[in-house]
Amino acid sequence: MRSKYLTFLLLLILGSCGVVKKKTTYGSDRTVSVPATSLDSLQDKYEAPKPIPKIEKNDPAEDIIETAMGYSGVRYKFGGTTKKGMDCSGLLYVSFGKHDIDLPRVSNEMAEEAKKINLKNVDKGDLLFFKTSKKGKRINHVGMVVDVNGPDIRFIHATTSRGVIVSSLNEGFWNYSFVKAARVL
């Protein structure tokens, strides 16, 4: 009895494999009703795609920014110049130094050496200097401009609370603490 049952089940399974037929959603063969266009008429209508120009990377500011951005997220460490910890002037000292541009090690000396420019004229790679201490009378913080989009100036720097980050000069604290912009390139 068991063998008859298994045989019946086996026949049922094997027999049902080819029985299922797909339903079609259309009743007749499809035909194309749009006439073909000749290649010549297409060439008249459309211009051949232009090759994408290669971007030459000769801008030292872009190279320095790329180096500095490689330190994003590194924690703050007073006097630090490595990925284990870094301060604001250390970030720029190392980033410029890797491209053979010597800067002083501390922010107030950088501010003295750099050429002051109008904030309206800042560009990528320029430095922004700040006085962040309420009691301090000298520059004690520096960042490097990484993007200028109209009135929004973004800069990379190392903060004591969040490490190496990109901020906007439009942010209240940084706008209030801002002293001057300067160029070293």
Catalytic residue among 94, 125, 129, 141: 141
- Torsion angles phi and psi, residue 168, rounded to 5: -110, 140
User: Which of the residues 64, 88, 106, 181 is marked catalytic?
Assistant: 88
Q: In the structure encoding, which two tokens stand for residue 39, read together?
A: 């290649």
Respond yes or no: is residue 99 known to be catalytic: no
Residue 157 bears catalytic tag: yes
Type of residue found at 30: R
Q: Rounded CA gap, 46 and 125, in Å?
A: 41
List 128, 146, 157, 164, catalytic entry: 157
- Give alpha helix (H) positions in the chain: 2-16, 39-45, 60-69, 88-97, 107-113, 172-177
Catalytic positions, written as ranges: 88, 141, 157
